[in-house]
Chains A and B, each alone.
Chain A
Amino acid sequence: MSTPSRPSFKTRLQQLHGASLPFVARTFRGNRFRRYAAGSILLGVLSVLMGIWLSFGTGEFEQDIRRGLDLEESHWDRDRIEFQVTAHDPYHYEMLLEEQRRLTAHGNVDDYSQLGSERERAYSTLYTALSIAPPRGQQALAARATALLEAYPPSRVEPQWHYAQDTRDWQFDWYAPAERQRLEAIIDRELQPKVVLYTSPLSVMDSVRLTGAVAGGFVVLLMLIVAPLSTGATVAQEVHENTLQPVLGTRLRPVDIVTGLAASGLALGGLLALPSLGVMLVAGLVGGYLAHMLPLLLLLPAATLLTVLLTALVGFGLGKRWSSGIVATVLTGVLCMLMLFSVGLGMNLEDEMVGLIAMLPPVGVVHELRELFVPGDNLRFGDTQHALVVVCVSVVAYTALAFVIGRALTRRVAGRTQPSLTRVEGFIAAATTMALAFAVLPDFKNNHAVEVYFVSLGLACVPWMLVLSGRVPVGDGPSSLRTIPLRTIMLELAAYVAGHAIIVTAIFGLGHIPFAPMGAFHLVWALAVMGLLAVRMVAVPTNILGSLFALLCLGAIAFEMVSAGVFVAAAVPDAYYRHAPHPFVLFEASAVLGLIQLALTVAIPLLLVRTLRKGSAGLA
């Protein structure tokens, strides 16, 4: 028997082109290409203009943005240190200059003048500084301050200088450089505050970086919201209006159709993002912190591909019931919420949260974008290295997951009776999500093995349920004619769990997780029910009652996992809390609750197996 030869790279490229062309051409049909291209150029120009505006603009908004990005200190602080008053517009500036002239000519202005107040505060600083013994190295400065104070007795600084409101003016720290700098400025200017017209402190290079960050922001939004949204809504529309049926009757294979649909969304996002991407790359090369350029350029495509295929899968599932408009609205809400959440986290990623890069794709992208252009100071050097490692793990993991999701979607589009995932694909997905679960944990080597074991297992369980449900044969045929390979699926779950345990053992060594029989019982129960529930969700049709039962099962799984953790933690030799609870912990609350727990422990697996047996041709 001859085995078919693997297609060459050139053949694969031709297949990719053949698959993508109809869908991409459809997206850009008519004058859409010109419209989108014009829009993309507009966005590119806008990113440059916004970058320049945010860099050099003198308005409050621009200042707030710059201060939020730690590019500029507060002008109040600067005014205080440099003993000056900043005017934000020419009118205010002229007014202050007039005040300054009057102050110089007459010694004071009026009770409510800005410069007068500043001079009073300065006098307070001067007075307070001299009321504290200066350190040895600051004697000269203290002498100059004394001379100034003598030259300006309180009567010359009317009215009522002691009403100065800022409590800082009544405190002075000779050891604080900023305080000494203020004192020097006060002495140099002989209690006459300087008047300055506000200008942005950013340099041209800062402006280049900020422009790159703005352009990068556009690219991230377009690739992680617009491209997935377009793909998800298109797939939902195709499914809802049954327009995939004629396409399936053409020369295109299901994998070509999935490729084409994903390519159409990516092409739309890519075209819109192209000029902004150019601006981002140029700015990154000119002024960015290049160590973060490569991670960003690897992470962004991987996160985009994963998000696009994930939304395509969601669109395929939801499109069967809901119109594309509803699906698009749902996807928009979810993607925007995810992006807002990710921007909040990614812009201010702190030591303990570095692992979140692995859990939410946009977090890492936003973090790397910031690090490329306007690095924050939240992370220590070691955490920055940790973040880079998590980014690398995420790139590989997202790519692997995108591949697996693409394969699953292809099989669903084909509509044949078969599992969405092969065994190998299931293992790849399970191992990948396991790796991501470990990556989420912050600095896990310093944590206890029991914590790492249960937290990482808990994180991995949700994707594992999806993987297991992908191993159940589905299709356009009836579920009552399908045999469910339950034993195989449960064995695969056991393999995932065993693999996870081996990794934890490899990290911490043997003996770090004590054996607690009741803990093992609850854990095995929770994992077994999780596997049965995953199979049940897709193997047989469900109704409202079935959905409620599934929710009850999910709650029971979470409860039993926590129970297992409590039993195992109590068995740790040096545990702070070594009280082993009742085997069914709800008995500790009340006998009735304990009996309910006991009854559910028996009933839930039996009911799940019974449902699977009744709804299928049999269990194998």
Chain B
Amino acid sequence: MAGAIIPSHGAFVVRMRVELSAISKTYDGATYAVRDVDLTIPSGSILGLIGPNGAGKSTALRMVATVMEPTGGTIAYDGEVASDPESHQRLRSRIGFLGDGNPLYKDMTASEYLTFFGQCFGLRGAALQHKVDDVLATFNLGNKANAKCKALSKGMRQRLLVARCLLHDPSLLILDEPADGLDPRGRSDLRKIVAQIRDRGVTIIISSHILRELDDLCDQVAILQRGSIVVSGDVTDIIERYEVSRLVYELRILDGLPRAREILARRRVLIEGESEADGLTALSLQVQGDDAAVADMLAELCGAGVRVVTCSRIRSRLEDVYNRLSEDQVN
């Protein structure tokens, strides 16, 4: 899927702003899957909805996608509150929704599956065929067009499901755990695709409990715990608000460990852990400051004769924010 392009045939994407006001949902009347959620998603942004399994992410997304009725509260799309089935219907022409569970018609081919959903979105004839071919190519499924869905790998199925959501050029794309089941390459490709969709002005809501999936991708984030929003807003603002200025790296050195310890201590770098791997010493480091501080630290280590083999970031800032806020560990 490397080098994938986003479908662009005559697609004029109208941006969509979504506002959730005191949204609640309960299935049993006693406990709430989602409770009093207030959230604003600016048009053209990517919102990462973070939370552990069972936090209410899927329920919240289904309500935003208008396929589930909230027990309380309202959702406004571009300022218009959609409360009746007719307005929901109109909105669905502008929303692409990939829900959880990923149900597929197993006996249909990939092409037939996309054709069916294209027809459900009102596409017809040559335009439909063109669109189907386009998304198949986009998601690198062209050679699987006539393969039955049950014969596709999990990653391919996931790509097919995302492809289905883009057939009608939506203004709002809602992806519930889209990376679920994808291998590292697939996840990387998905990130590229999502970024390209965002570049076209589509508002995207993406949920995941794997925070590295969302790091550097989202410009908005909302952390959901036990059905309630713990924090939400611009990613940078949140990181600043929670003073998450440290980055966690793994440093692997061949020799010069005592010298390295001296330098790191002087630069106020916290060594979280120390281990041996592949004949190398691996240090887990919390670095205060930005990437420049890391670059300076590495330059000093190398200058002092410490033989550094690799230095890689192992945890995102979002993960730190989340860990600070939550009782549960994620991922």
Contact = CB atoms under 8 A, between A and B. Distances in A.
A26 interface: yes
A243 B99 CA distance: 11
Contacts of B12: none
B105 to A, nearest CB: 6
Contacts of A478: 26-30
A477 interface: yes
Nearest to B96: A249
Given A26-B116, A243-B104, A481 B71 contact: yes
B23 to A, nearest CB: 14
B26 A481 contact: yes
State the main secondary structure of chain A at its contact with B: loop
A7 interface: no
A476 B27 contact: yes
Contact of A477 (B27, B99, B121): B27
Contacts of B68: 415, 476
Nearest to A482: B29
B116 A249 contact: no
B95 interface: yes
A414 B67 CA distance: 8
Contact of B115 (A25, A245, A415, A476): A25
B85 interface: yes
A29 B85 CA distance: 31
Contacts of A18: 122
A548 to B, nearest CB: 24
B103 A246 contact: yes
Contacts of A21: 119, 124
Contact of B28 (A245, A247, A480): A480
B93 A251 contact: yes
Contact of A250 (B29, B101, B109, B121): B121
A547 interface: no
A476 B26 CA distance: 9
B103 A248 contact: no
A246 B82 CA distance: 19
A245 B26 contact: no
A18 B128 CA distance: 14
A137 interface: no
A417 interface: yes
B176 to A, nearest CB: 11
A22 B108 CA distance: 13
Interface string B212-240: 00000000000000000000000000000
Given A242-B103, A245-B99, A481-B29, A251 B92 contact: yes
Contacts, number: 88
B133 interface: no
A478 B104 CA distance: 28
Interface in B144-168: 164, 168
Interface string A10-33: 000000001001100110011000
A414 B85 contact: yes
Contact of A26 (B28, B66, B108): B108
A475 interface: yes
Nearest to B112: A29
Nearest to A253: B89
Nearest to A414: B85
Interface string A404-425: 0000000000111100000000
A253 B91 CA distance: 11
Contacts of A252: 120
A243 B67 CA distance: 13
Given A251-B89, A476-B69, A481-B29, A30 B112 contact: yes
Contact of B120 (A250, A416, A417, A480): A250
B56 to A, nearest CB: 15
B101 A29 contact: no
In this complex, the member of A18, A22, A415 whose beta carbon has the largest number of chain B beta carbons within 10 angstroms is A22
Contacts of A476: 27, 68-69
Contacts of A247: 117, 120
A253 B85 contact: yes
Contacts of B322: none
B65 interface: yes
A100 to B, nearest CB: 67
Contacts of A479: 29
B69 A416 contact: yes
A475 B69 contact: yes
A503 B227 CA distance: 56
A580 to B, nearest CB: 50
Contacts of B65: 249
B29 A480 contact: yes
B97 interface: yes
A26 B89 contact: no
A241 interface: yes
Given A18-B122, A246-B97, A417-B69, 10 more contacts: A246-B164, A247-B117, A249-B97, A250-B120, A250-B121, A251-B89, A251-B120, A251-B122, A477-B26, A478-B30
10 contacts: A26-B105, A29-B116, A245-B67, A245-B99, A249-B92, A249-B95, A250-B92, A477-B71, A480-B30, A617-B29
Interface of B: 26-30, 65-69, 71, 85, 89, 92-93, 95, 97, 99, 101, 103-105, 108-109, 112, 115-117, 119-122, 124, 164, 168
